[in-house]
Amino acid sequence: MHGLRLPCQEKRVQSGQKFNRPTKDSFRKVGLEDLALCLISLRITDAHAHLNEFTLTGFSAGLRHVDGLSVITNSVDVDSSLRNIEISRSCNMVIPFVGIHPEIFARPENSNMSSEQLDSLTEHIADLIKDAKGIGEIGLDPKYGQMENQEYVLDRILLLAESSVIPITFHCRETTLEILDVLSSYNLRQNIMFHWFAGSEMELGKIHDRGMFTSFGPSILFSKRMAGLVGSSNRGLVLVETDSPTTFQSIINGPSSPFLVYSVAFKMAFILKITFNDMCDLLEANVGKYLATQD
């Protein structure tokens, strides 16, 4: 059994219907009776999701009724940052991060942004940091173009981060080494995570050698290379995520939700050859270290 899927939870919450706490009977229907009591009592954190997305409205409304599951919800622009802070105020299991994702530079309306407009974006984020638990997601990505503007915004946000102690989440597709190089120019005290890490073992080693975290998502359920990276990781610096509501057609139908984090953690336990209980305990210890502010 390589993954643990909870369809009884996925369907009910994503449809926006009233969510009831899962019971032993609900697990029995999908052949998971032996794990039912264990899952309900274990604590786990989805280290990277986007609860601001409309497709997760039902999930967000029901999360307050779920014991043990916490979600770090990341932002991509000012509007999503505001929304994530709003969601967190109605549920203490939601941990809001604010930031500017490089994807904004692929939007047609942002094709010719002036430095004044870019400064306005980062000033809005500066105003929101006081209400956030972290900064993210931020980073660099050649897929979205306008690399000069991406670098400008990243510089401004990292300058803001120098006067903060809350953790940072990086988007690092094809830019891990560039981001590591950039970070050496700033006086950052907080913990740092490279989310959905998919680079090389060499890059993984460089991240972990600097005491920085990497998170792994549902791709470890179907990718041997990604599973291999988990096996090569410093287990004291790994986290699990779903990046929901990202769709994974080979795993579930439709948008994912943070409930998928149980499957990711179960597969990670399989890779590291430890029990699911011990895996959850390790992940919660790691996320506690990551979220700790560095005074």
CA angle 178, 214, 242 (to 5 degrees): 115
pLDDT beneath 70: ranges in the chain: 1-41, 294-295
Say which amino acid occupies 276. F
**Reading across the β-sheet that carries 168-171, which strands appear in turn?**
44-49, 69-73, 94-98, 134-139, 168-171, 192-194, 213-216, 238-240
Residue 294 has what pLDDT?
61
State the pTM of this model: 0.86
Could you tell me the two tokens for 179?
């981001």
CA distance 155 to 140: 11
Residue 27 has a pLDDT of 40
pLDDT at 64: 83
pLDDT of residue 7: 37
- The pLDDT of residue 42 is 84
Mean pLDDT of the chain: 87
pLDDT for the residue numbered 250: 79
Residues 6 or more apart whose CB falls under 8 angstroms from that of 211 comprise 237
pLDDT value at position 210? 96
Q: What is the pLDDT of residue 295?
A: 59
Task: Name all domains of the chain by residue range, CATH numbers in brackets.
Answer: 7-291 (3.20.20.140)
